[in-house]
Amino acid sequence: MQEINDDLKAAGATLVAITPQLPSYSKDMIEKHGIEFDMLSDPGNEYAAKLGLRFEVPEDVKAIYQGFKLPMVETNGDDSWTLPMPARIVVDSDGIVRATDIDPNYTSRPEPEKTLADVKALG
């Protein structure tokens, strides 16, 4: 999304990411990847749950993550083993959701240009 951030700004939009990661881990990612938009922390995926986007990591996937020593519990700061579904939500200036791209399959994500087109369609 970083690659379209300037185009989003030019269209009058503000890009914000919401992650279950603790701010200290997000800070590392922001610095490493040169991210120039806000990343908000959603402890325990509580906001994702309110949107119906939180899911519990299945036991077989949990075992794989643990086998690879992925520090999800440490990174997210809780042991719920929940994650948010990948989602992009375009909200207009009145707070009305105008477009969504949500897929429980984390490998299926829209191209950033799709999000930019959704924003430009707001006109």
Cβ contact 21:73 at 8 Å: no
- Domain ranges within the chain, ordered by starting residue: 2-118
Please tell me the distance from the alpha carbon of residue 59 to that of residue 13, in angstroms, as a whole number: 39
Q: What separation in angstroms does the CA of 55 have from each of 52, 90, 105?
A: 8, 22, 11
Please tell me the distance from the alpha carbon of residue 59 to that of residue 64, in angstroms, as a whole number: 9
- Is CATH 3.40.50.10240 the classification given to domain 2-118? no
pLDDT tens column, 24-83: 999 999 999 999 999 999 999 999 999 999 999 999 999 998 999 989 999 999 999 999
Is the entire prediction scored with pTM above 0.85?
yes
Query: Quick check: helix, strand or coil at residue 113?
Result: helix
Over range 111-117, report the average pLDDT: 95
pLDDT higher than threshold 90 for residue 102: yes
Per-residue pLDDT, 22 = 96
